[in-house]
Structure 1
């Protein structure tokens, strides 16, 4: 953030307020090239659409919590926490360990993000660009991505996003990111619809076979 021209104080505020690494990595290049504000907002919104899905799934676990606590849960939620939580509590049923588990994971994840982030902001001018540390963020996101590839739909959506991003690379203002997101969402929804139709067809055929027997 500092290397792209942002002041130290503004970078610190962004790190704490915009607690979303992928959104930061997406919009900083846009800010650096002077992209219109609507492009910046739209990019950040599209990148963070996955949190709508996360929240809809978490609602079944935390809907009994007060509104203020649910808003705090929304702020502290993250990809890694979501994956770990769903593996720990795969079935939606009351469990006294769910809230403490979330806050333990969320607190650790928040500190693990903010401490190095703030250190990087304060030491930005001491770290030369030749070290290539910016690629570490890409590697971290790749690690999260690979942990989320659990079925055919996510694999197809990922492949489509990568292909669309490369194909639209020549677009100005990093608009290839928006193209990739839109293509991935469309591909994922199409795959899920096809899989749902196939399951329904299989159930109908099974029911017809049982009736015939």
Structure 2
């Protein structure tokens, strides 16, 4: 591919988009639920559209909606959104070896489009943490499909919220979709244990006001993750060559 050729013509762009298509079905279902929920909770169509386009974080949107509607203090709303989105700090750290050399403006633009599952797909495609020309087209292929799947169905849910009966059980369907997305991220014993601890903490703290059981669950998951990382068995020491040796 020539340097001047657009990213969308690159074979890796098509590969990234193709690998995201199947996953995007669950993302689209969750976007529809979020769009309906924003209007049903009284946020209104204009603010719901603005929130969908600017925030682009379904879990944070759904976590903060009940707080906004109940008139919770703004610091609680912000704290909840930040806690729910702390995982993106980990994603950013994981992407740094691949994209750290790019200009800051470009990295900030990419940050808006990052999501849980294009991170998973990307790391599966490029397990070795070093930059290569194929990575940026692959990233954008998955990111574009992910963003379109979310926004199209989210906006559809916003504009059709009044015609979609709550008896359809979209909230439960959305929960199932989110569980499916979460399950795809549980790749080893540590992540399963963190998820189990978070679930137990959320149930145990369910009676807390202002949905603070969500914050409690996130804090518990982070704490168990840090502990597991701390007590992880150290890797075998690397042999150091004798200074007198010669190749």
Q: TM-score, normalised by structure 1?
A: 0.90
1:1-213 equivalences under 5 Å are 1-195=38-232, 198-199=233-234, 203=236
For 1:20 and 1:106, locate their aligned partners in 2 and report how far apart those are by CA, in whole Å.
Answer: 13
Q: Count how many residue pairs are aligned between Structure 1 and Structure 2.
A: 202
For 1:158 and 1:138, locate their aligned partners in 2 and report how far apart those are by CA, in whole Å.
Answer: 15
Q: TM-score, normalised by structure 2?
A: 0.78
Q: SS at 1:199's partner residue?
A: coil
**Residue 120 (structure 1) shift:** 0.4
For 1:81 and 1:141, locate their aligned partners in 2 and report how far apart those are by CA, in whole Å.
Answer: 15
Deviates more, 1:159-168 or 1:23-32: 23-32
For 1:110 and 1:118, locate their aligned partners in 2 and report how far apart those are by CA, in whole Å.
Answer: 12
**Residue 114 (structure 1) shift:** 0.1
Superposed CA deviations along residues 154-184 of structure 1, whole A, max 9, x for unmatched, are: 1111111000100010111111111111111
Higher relative contact order by CA 8 Å / sep ≥ 6: 1 or 2? 2
For 1:36 and 1:94, locate their aligned partners in 2 and report how far apart those are by CA, in whole Å.
Answer: 43
**Residue 45 (structure 1) shift:** 0.1
Runs ≥4 in structure 1, deviation > 4 angstroms?
none
**Residue 134 (structure 1) shift:** 2.1
**Residue 7 (structure 1) shift:** 1.2
Q: SS at 1:2's partner residue?
A: helix
For 2:59 and 2:94, locate their aligned partners in 1 and report how far apart those are by CA, in whole Å.
Answer: 20
For 2:221 and 2:130, locate their aligned partners in 1 and report how far apart those are by CA, in whole Å.
Answer: 31
**Unaligned residue ranges in structure 2 (runs of 5+):** 1-37, 240-247
